[in-house]
Amino acid sequence: MKVLVLYYSQTGQLKEIANKCLSPLIEDAETEVDFVNIETEHQFPFPWTRLTFFNAFPESVYGTPFNLKPIQVDESKEYDLIVLAYTVWYLNPSIPISSLLQHEDAKRIFKGKKVITLLGSRNMWVLAQEKVKRHLKLLEADLIGNVVLIDRNKNLVSIITIVRWMFSGKKNSFWGFPRAGIIQEDIEASNRFGNVILNRIKKNELSDMQDELNELGAVDINPSLLILEKRATKLFGMYAHFLSKKGGFHDKARLGRVSLLSYLLPIGAFVLSPITTVSSYLVSIIQKKSLEEEIRYYKQNSLRD
Ligand X SMILES: Cc1cc2nc3c(=O)[nH]c(=O)nc-3n(C[C@H](O)[C@H](O)[C@H](O)COP(=O)(O)O)c2cc1C
Q: Give residues in contact with ligand X (CB under 6 A).
A: 9-11, 13-14, 53, 56, 87-91, 120-125, 166
Q: How far is CA 2 from the centre of its chain?
A: 24
Minimum CB distance to ligand X, residue 46 (Å): 7
Q: Which is nearer to ligand X, 66 or 125 (CB)?
A: 125
Write phi, then psi, for 186 (nearest 5 degrees).
Answer: -65, -40
Can you say whether residue 77 is alpha, beta or left, with left for phi > 0 and alpha for psi between -120 and 50 degrees? beta
Cα gap 163→142, rounded to integer Å:
35
Q: Which is nearer to ligand X, 136 or 149 (CB)?
A: 149
Minimum CB distance to ligand X, residue 14 (Å): 3
Minimum CB distance to ligand X, residue 122 (Å): 3
Q: Which is nearer to ligand X, 209 or 243 (CB)?
A: 243
Q: Which is nearer to ligand X, 14 or 115 (CB)?
A: 14
Minimum CB distance to ligand X, residue 1 (Å): 26
Minimum CB distance to ligand X, residue 96 (Å): 9
Cα gap 4→75, rounded to integer Å:
11
Q: Which is nearer to ligand X, 9 or 280 (CB)?
A: 9
Minimum CB distance to ligand X, residue 120 (Å): 6
Q: Are 143 and 101 in contact (CB under 8 A)?
A: no
Q: Which is nearer to ligand X, 93 or 114 (CB)?
A: 93
Q: Are 217 and 211 in contact (CB under 8 A)?
A: no
Q: Which is nearer to ligand X, 106 or 124 (CB)?
A: 124
Q: Report long-range pairs for 160-165 (Cβ below 8 Å, ≥24 apart).
A: 162/122, 163/266, 165/11
In sequence order, the 6+-apart residues with CB closer than 8 A to the CB of 205 are none
- Bond before 47 cis per omega within 30 degrees: yes
Q: How far is CA 106 from the centre of its chain?
A: 18
- Beta strands at 92-93 and 88-89: parallel, antiparallel or unpaired: antiparallel
For 8, 81, 135, the CA distances from 295, given in Å and listed in that order, are: 27, 26, 21
Minimum CB distance to ligand X, residue 254 (Å): 16
